[in-house]
Amino acid sequence: MGYNKDRKGLETKDGGLIRINGSGDKVRIDIYDKDERKPGHSRDSIHYDTKTGKGKIDSHNGDKSEKSSTDVSCYLTTACMKCYQNDFDDNCYELFILRWFRDKFVSQKDIEYYYEKAPLIVEAIENTDNRNEIYNYIYDNVIKVCVEAIKCGDFEFAYNRYKNSILALEEYVKQSLDQNNSKILKLANN
């Protein structure tokens, strides 16, 4: 793979292209399967805000008849970002280990469940006054603990801690929504 000045990105062996753009906290990565200057290419675009941890993946096929958009907010990434702040790297050691573990040991069903619930969890946490405390707790009690367990080969413990964190945080989201709904009802009745 080499940089192509005319196409402003890294050219793949099969003629595809990876282009990275960004300014400030916003990053966009475009991945083309063929020459993007010619009709019939498909594209995946990853939009990511390094400050908030929120993002999405937009895709289209060659004739643009099929398009999709997927939210990729991740509370594990956000917790690492809050911990590292200006020194955050999306490929930090913790996320590298957790992604390796996810790809090797977590079922596709659980991964899909996580990506369905994680954006709701991030949104609920972001709407609290103690968001930094929550992210610190996730970092100290989920991320660090899971990484240590994975390093020691205790994959079952790491999996259970990971899965239980999702369930506990999902319950937190439900409670947060219930509280917000009751506030809305009280305001509507006044």
Contact 32, 41 (CB under 8 A): yes
Name residue, tokens 């050219």: 11
On whether the pTM is more than 0.95, the answer is no
**What pLDDT is recorded for position 88?**
65
Q: Is the pLDDT of residue 70 over 90?
A: no
Name residue, tokens 């995946």: 44
Nearest alpha carbon to residue 141 among 178, 168, 115: 168
Angstrom distances, CA of residue 62 to CA of 29, 33, 41, 68, 187: 18, 9, 4, 13, 50
Which strands, in side-by-side order, build the sheet including 9-11?
2-4, 9-11, 17-23, 26-32, 43-49, 55-60, 67-71
Q: What CA–CA distance (Å, rounded) separates 48 from 90?
A: 10
Q: 102 versus 154: which is more confidently predicted?
A: 154
Under the banding of pLDDT at 50, 70 and 90, the label for residue 156 is very high
pLDDT tens digits along 102-151: 888 888 898 888 878 887 788 788 888 888 888 888 888 888 999 999 99
User: Average pLDDT for residues 49-59, to the nearest whole number?
Assistant: 71
Burial class (CB in 10 A: 0-12, 13-18, 19+), 45: middle
- What's the chain's average pLDDT? 79
